[in-house]
């Protein structure tokens, strides 16, 4: 066996620690058997003619050395330096070998008898057991064998007989095998230490790469969403102008621009969601959910999209009164269903899409079936890989990036849901989710989504916009001004406080989370509140990290991620202020 390259200092330390673990385990497992062996050796020696006092002295000395060894074993638990403990154990091993050598010499001075043969068998067996107490240290074991085994071999050679020569030769052969075994164990341990170190370095590199990727996507999330946000506000302004001027051509242009922006946002969100799932940044909010109620509302939202494509949409639910309850995250579950439905809508040109819920013993099954082209068996695993699409070799952007099903698999694993696919070419596809049922006694009634007020019909509002991006400030200000609102904008805290001067006081604040010079929108809000302004606040951000989201939520604010739909934001502001009687 060829030894590997020299170990580094860190690997040497790891080798000593691993060797100490092996030695400690070997000592603890063989302590009682070795004590019994030494007591047996003393008794056999007495039977062979050694004085009883000498046999008793040998056993007592052995017991004292074993006690010292046990004390060192206890030092392992106290995290003493491994090299120090191993050195102490090696000294005890050599002391035991010297004790045995002296005792062997004394016993074999007596006339040879059958007890000497039995004693030899016991001593050779003891040498075999000692292999487990050196932890692959061939040098320590070799020194022990030279003293212990050398004494035994010389004792037989001193008999000056053929059988003595044969016995000594056999012992040399056996001890050579033992030494080779310890050497192999040591080399194997070194290879394992090198491999462990390589794996640790590979893990560290992977973690650094993952952290780098996470930072990249976080930066990409913020930087890419900035121009999209400005574009979103500008598109909303176009749509507002089209509505005011009754310009159908402008309205059509605005709708097309808005669809293109939504497609871009969906692609960006998919990329970022994969990154957040891989980084473990998606939190699960488990709660009791009535699957029938959830599917009913979700199906009602999806049906218009299917009908727009001339597809039949069916929703098959259990009989009225049968409630299938589970503990899951309803938002993430709807995300899974949405991705499956989006996949079906993209690849089903005619026919139907059917979502069904049924009980299967103690589990509930949600299936989504389409009449699309189907998926060959050999490709059914690959469709859950990132960026893989069965029939989109031309990379048609309208069919997405091939991330939807990859996100489905990740979310299903995160929610501990079963996921399987049944499909065949020309027979459509059927995705099946399996969720365990619970025995929840009652569920909180679902909060009805308020019907948003139309922003264009809202009374004029006073809004202060704080954002360090000039394009975003101007675009949002232009949109809200087009709606007839009074708008002031600021890029930082001092300019925001200047906007509060005089009689003009905002009813609503729209704040960007990340401002310049490490100032946050929360800092800006605190400064504005310190001036006595109690206007309702909306926090807009391009950040996606859960820490930032939690920070904003802890301040009692809802988070709106860029790019934001300008008209939806205006409608939300108007509805919130109307609800407060303003």
- Residue among 558, 572, 354 at smallest CA distance from 454: 572
CA dihedral 377, 380, 382, 384 (to 10 degrees): 180
Task: Give the containing element (helix H, strand E) for 124.
Answer: helix 114-129
Q: What's the pLDDT score for residue 356?
A: 92
Task: Give the containing element (helix H, strand E) for 358.
Answer: strand 352-360
CA distances in angstroms from 509 to 228, 307, 525, 557, listed in the order given: 21, 39, 8, 11
- Alpha carbon distance 172, 150 (integer Å): 9
Cis amide bond preceding 563, omega within 30: yes
Q: What's the pLDDT score for residue 266?
A: 61
User: DSSP 3-state assignment of 49?
Assistant: coil
- Alpha carbon distance 524, 513 (integer Å): 9
Which pair of tokens denotes residue 28?
Answer: 């603890």
Q: What's the pLDDT score for residue 61?
A: 83
Q: What's the pLDDT score for residue 397?
A: 44
Q: What's the pLDDT score for residue 269?
A: 62
Q: What's the pLDDT score for residue 562?
A: 77
State pTM to two decimals: 0.44
- Alpha carbon distance 153, 171 (integer Å): 7
- Residue among 136, 61, 43 at smallest CA distance from 98: 61
- Alpha carbon distance 334, 337 (integer Å): 5
- Alpha carbon distance 85, 87 (integer Å): 5
Q: Which residues pair with 462 in a beta bridge?
A: 486
Q: Give every strand in the sheet of 536-541, ordered side by side.
A: 486-490, 462-466, 508-512, 536-541, 559-561
CB under 8 Å to 321, separation ≥6 — which residues? none
CA distances in angstroms from 517 to 241, 468, 492, 520, listed in the order given: 36, 10, 10, 9
Total count of residues recorded for the chain: 582
- Alpha carbon distance 436, 434 (integer Å): 7
- Residue among 120, 121, 150, 133 at smallest CA distance from 85: 133
Is 11 in contact with 193 (CB distance < 8 Å)?
yes
Q: What's the pLDDT score for residue 398?
A: 45
The neighbour count for residue 338, using CB atoms within 10 Å, is 16
Give 249-288 as a DSSP string: HHHHHHHHHHHHHHHHHHHHHHHHHHHHHHTT------EE
Helices 546-554 and 521-530, axial angle in degrees (round to 10): 10
- Alpha carbon distance 103, 155 (integer Å): 11
Q: Is 437 exposed, middle or buried (0-12, 13-18, 19+ CB in 10 A)?
A: middle
Is 522 in contact with 551 (CB distance < 8 Å)?
yes
- Parallel/antiparallel/unpaired status of strands 559-561 and 536-541: parallel
Task: Provide the sign of the torsion angle of the four alpha carbons 352, 353, 359, 362, taken in this order.
Answer: positive
Per-residue pLDDT of the chain (582 residues; tens, 9 = 90+): 445 567 777 777 777 777 777 777 777 777 777 778 878 888 888 887 778 887 788 888 887 877 777 777 676 656 667 777 777 777 877 888 888 888 888 888 888 888 888 888 888 887 887 787 777 788 888 888 888 888 888 888 888 889 889 988 998 898 888 888 888 888 888 888 888 888 888 888 877 776 776 666 666 666 666 777 777 788 888 878 877 788 788 878 877 777 777 666 665 665 556 555 655 556 677 888 889 888 888 888 888 888 888 898 999 888 877 788 888 888 788 888 888 888 888 888 888 899 999 988 888 999 999 888 887 777 767 666 655 555 544 444 444 445 667 778 888 888 888 888 888 888 888 888 999 988 643 344 444 343 343 444 456 788 999 998 888 888 888 888 888 888 899 999 999 888 887 778 898 899 998 888 888 889 999 999 998 888 889 988 876 666 776 777 778 887 777 778 888 888 888 888 887 766
């Amino acid at each position: 066996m060829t030894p590997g390259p020299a170990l580094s200092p860190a690997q040497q330390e790891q080798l000593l620690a691993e060797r100490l673990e092996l030695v400690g385990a070997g000592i603890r497992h063989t302590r009682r058997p070795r004590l019994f062996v030494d007591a047996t050796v003393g008794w056999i020696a007495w039977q062979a003619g050694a004085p009883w006092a000498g046999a008793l002295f040998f056993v007592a000395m052995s017991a004292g050395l074993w006690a010292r060894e046990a004390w060192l074993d206890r030092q392992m638990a106290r995290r003493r330096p491994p090299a120090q403990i191993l050195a102490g154990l090696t000294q005890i091993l050599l002391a035991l070998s010297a004790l045995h050598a002296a005792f062997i010499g004394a016993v074999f001075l007596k006339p040879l008898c059958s007890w000497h043969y039995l004693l030899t068998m016991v001593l050779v067996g003891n040498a075999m057991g000692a292999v487990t107490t050196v932890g692959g240290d061939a040098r320590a074991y070799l020194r022990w064998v030279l003293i212990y085994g050398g004494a035994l071999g010389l004792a037989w050679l001193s008999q000056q007989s053929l059988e003595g020569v044969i016995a000594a030769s056999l012992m040399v052969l056996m001890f050579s095998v033992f030494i080779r075994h310890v050497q192999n164990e040591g080399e194997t341990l070194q290879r394992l230490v090198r491999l462990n170190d390589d794996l640790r370095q590979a893990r560290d590199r992977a973690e650094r790469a993952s952290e780098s990727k996470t930072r990249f996507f976080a930066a990409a999330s913020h930087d890419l969403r900035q121009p999209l946000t400005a574009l979103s506000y500008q598109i909303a302004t176009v749509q507002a102008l089209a509505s005011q001027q009754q310009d159908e051509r402008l309205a059509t242009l605005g709708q097309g621009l808005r669809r293109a922006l939504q497609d871009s946002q969906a692609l960006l969100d998919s990329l970022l969601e994969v990154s957040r799932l891989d980084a473990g940044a998606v939190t699960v909010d488990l709660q009791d959910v009535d699957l029938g109620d959830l599917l009913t509302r979700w199906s009602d939202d999806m049906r218009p999209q299917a009908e727009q494509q001339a597809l039949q949409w069916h929703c098959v639910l259990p009989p009225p009164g049968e409630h299938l309850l589970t503990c899951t995250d309803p938002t993430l579950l709807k995300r899974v269903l949405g991705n499956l439905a989006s996949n079906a809508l993209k690849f089903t040109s005619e026919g139907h899409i059917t979502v069904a819920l049924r009980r299967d013993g103690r589990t509930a099954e949600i299936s989504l079936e389409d009449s699309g082209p189907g998926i060959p068996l050999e490709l059914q695993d690959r469709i859950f890989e990132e960026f893989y699409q069965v029939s989109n070799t031309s990379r048609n952007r309208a069919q997405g990036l091939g991330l939807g099903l990859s996100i489905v698999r990740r979310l299903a694993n995160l929610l501990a849901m079963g996921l399987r696919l049944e499909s065949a070419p020309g027979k459509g596809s059927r995705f099946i989710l399996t969720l365990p049922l619970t025995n929840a006694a009652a569920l909180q009634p679902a909060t009805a989504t308020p019907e948003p007020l139309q922003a264009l019909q809202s009374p004029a509002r006073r809004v202060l916009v704080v954002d360090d991006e000039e394009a975003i400030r101007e675009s949002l200000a232009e949109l809200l001004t087009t709606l007839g609102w009074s708008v002031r904008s600021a890029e930082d805290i001092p300019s925001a406080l200047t906007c509060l001067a005089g009689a003009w006081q905002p009813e609503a604040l729209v704040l960007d989370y990340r401002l310049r010079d490490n100032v946050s929108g929360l800092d800006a809000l605190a400064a504005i509140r310190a001036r006595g302004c109690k206007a309702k606040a909306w926090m807009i951000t391009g950040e996606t990290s859960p820490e930032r989201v939690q920070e904003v939520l802890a301040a009692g604010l809802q988070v709106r991620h860029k790019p934001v739909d300008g008209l939806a934001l205006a409608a939300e502001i108007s509805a919130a202020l109307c609800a407060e009687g303003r």
